[in-house]
Structure 1
Amino acid sequence: MDYITALLMGLIEGLAEFLPISSTGHLILTGELLDFTGEAAKTFEIFIQLGAIMAAAVLYRKRIFALFGIRGANTPKYNINLLHVFLGILPAMILGLLLHGFIKDVLFSPTTVLIGLVAGGVLMIAAERFQGEIKAKTIDDITYRQALTIGLFQCLALWPGFSRSGSTMSGGLLYGVHRKAAADFSFFIAIPMMVGATGLDLFKSWGHLSSSDFGYFAVGFVASFVVAMVAMVSFLKLLERVKLTPFAIYRFVLAGLFWLFVL
């Protein structure tokens, strides 16, 4: 590993984490192209996701404080509470704990990523085509049932290539949540979800790392944080006028090109 690789992977993670194109899938495919593989590489890929998640924590800091009753003078009233968050993360949290070893050992491969990219793209197009009547136009309109439904769809993102935001936005659309509201909720519940997943992975993979890796991890983390902050704000604005279909088409093209010219 070198600092150029660490920087490039951090930039890709920050850009892709909150777009419905699968950041994990992009990191695995990039790692294959750069011959950056192995246990330390897998841990690095998961660790730099924490940089992107910290960017989400900064963006949603007022909501996070409000969940615990900490409100400033200018804090608006939010309807999303801890039960919404719990319902949104519980299904994927349980399944992720049960299948953690299988996911990391078996599903972290280019072939499975390509399958996830295509399947996730099909889901996104189907969600746009068969979306339910929009009843939740903002994140604060989301009901407990919709939060649980989005949480169930988030389980699909445990398969690399599916994309957490793509899966959750698709689930939201099918059950009456506007794509921007679903994206907001997806970003929000990603904070505890990814902090827990990253912590678990680092605990289990600490033996694969050495002190010489810390500099690379820091570069990837910072790059991911900065780019994710810009990408999140831009993407939420973009969702006001752009549907999921263009992102699905990008996924199909990427999967096809990688299959033809690399695999």
Structure 2
Amino acid sequence: MWEIFVAIVLGLVEGLTEFAPVSSTGHMIIVDDLLFKSNELFGSEIANAFKVVIQLGSILAVAIIFWKRILDLLGLRKMKSVERKSGNRLSLLKIFVGLVPAGIFGVLFEGYIDEHLFSVKTVAIGLLIGAFLMIAADKVKPRIKTATVDDITYKQAIGVGLIQCLSLWPGFSRSGSTISGGVLLGMSYRAAADFTFIMAIPIMAGATLLKIIKYWSFFTPDVLPFFIAGFISAFIFALICIRFFLKLIEKIKLTPFAIYRIVLAAIILFIYL
């Protein structure tokens, strides 16, 4: 039963933090250390396989929330006459343009990042710098040129893609960097958030698929209940978090999340350094 409890808690942390601009990596450092490493049943490889499973639960949640948008992008949904008259539509090409920069940098520097940047100190640095970027986005308040995700330009898409490269630094947060970047480029908070979540589906799904292949040998019957509990937990809590966040972001903006990140960075540094 303890293993199932651990799975649910870690799934909860993944679901609540993966898409909020607070860094799931920073939270996992604390919770993983308190719950995962205290249990000898789970070696590092099984732990890595489990993290792939719960991330898959989060991806499924965001895919369900944006399922109509995904069908539109793939040309599998018949648009209503009102939608056809609305003009601009988000396209797969804009999503691709937004993904290319981080994809290239991720492939080129994956080994270096895994070897040198996954430490308590670097995650805390990522939390702090990301927090300052979010505060800057709120303070600068550029004129909103893009009210909805359908109005995003190619220039904005490539700009968000370049800023997303910052999220390769552990603790920076993909959603924190891209939403902040989108706002600084003239998007509304909701447009930037929608674009962030839609972009996350292919990039996270691709990375997760590669990891599943890598750790496939660890998907054994004895750990399946543990994996399934984590997957369901991550899916449910990601579903709740994303819906809540999309309703909240226009009202409270990014600064409250930035303050939370600063506090979290201080806690991590106090505990582990």
TM-score (norm 2): 0.89
Q: Distance in 1 between matches of 2:126 and 2:100?
A: 22
Q: Where does the alignment leave 5 or more consecutive residues of structure 1 unmatched?
A: none
Instruction: For residue 89 of structure 1, report the CA deviation from its aligned partner.
Output: 1.1
In structure 2, the partner of 1:41 is: 47
Q: Distance in 1 between matches of 2:242 and 2:203?
A: 17
Q: Please tell me the residue identity of whatever aligns with 1:58.
A: I
Q: CA RMSD in A?
A: 2.0
Q: Distance in 2 between matches of 1:109 and 1:42?
A: 16
The equivalent position to 2:116 in structure 1, one of 96, 106, 112, is 106
Q: Which one has the largest radius of gyration?
A: 2
Instruction: For residue 261 of structure 1, report the CA deviation from its aligned partner.
Output: 3.1
In structure 2, the partner of 1:202 is: 212
Distance change >3 Å, CA 212–CA 16, structure 1 → 2: same
- Residue identity over aligned pairs, in percent, reads 49
Instruction: For residue 208 of structure 1, report the CA deviation from its aligned partner.
Output: 5.3
1:62 and 2:63 are equivalent in the alignment: no
Q: Distance in 2 between matches of 1:114 and 1:153?
A: 19
What pairs with 1:129-208 in structure 2 (closer than 5 Å)?
129-207=139-217
Q: Retained in 1: the 8 A contact 2:6–2:36?
A: no
Q: Please tell me the residue identity of whatever aligns with 2:210.
A: L
Distance change >3 Å, CA 252–CA 106, structure 1 → 2: same
Q: Please tell me the residue identity of whatever aligns with 2:10.
A: M
Q: Distance in 1 between matches of 2:220 and 2:26?
A: 25
Q: Retained in 2: the 8 A contact 1:85–1:147?
A: yes
Instruction: For residue 161 of structure 1, report the CA deviation from its aligned partner.
Output: 0.9
Report the 3-state secondary structure (helix = DSSP H, G, I; strand = E; otherwise coil) of the residue aligned with 2:253: coil
In structure 1, the partner of 2:243 is: 233
Q: Distance in 2 between matches of 1:46 and 1:61?
A: 22
In structure 1, the partner of 2:21 is: 20
Q: Distance in 1 between matches of 2:145 and 2:222?
A: 52
Q: Please tell me the residue identity of whatever aligns with 2:31.
A: T
Q: Distance in 2 between matches of 1:160 and 1:208?
A: 25
Q: Deviations over 1:65-86 (max 9, x none)?
A: 1112112465944610111110
Q: Retained in 2: the 8 A contact 1:14–1:227?
A: yes
Q: Distance in 2 between matches of 1:45 and 1:105?
A: 18
Distance change >3 Å, CA 43–CA 114, structure 1 → 2: farther
Which consecutive aligned stretches of 4+ in structure 1 deviate over 3 angstroms post-superposition? Answer: 72-78, 205-211
Q: Retained in 2: the 8 A contact 1:28–1:109?
A: no
Q: Which moved more, 1:100-109 or 1:19-28?
A: 100-109
Q: Distance in 2 between matches of 1:96 and 1:214?
A: 30
TM-score (norm 1): 0.92
Q: Where does the alignment leave 5 or more consecutive residues of structure 2 unmatched?
A: 38-42
Q: Please tell me the residue identity of whatever aligns with 1:88.
A: G
Q: Deviations over 1:39-82 (max 9, x none)?
A: 33233223311211111111111111111211246594461011
Q: Distance in 2 between matches of 1:259 and 1:35?
A: 20
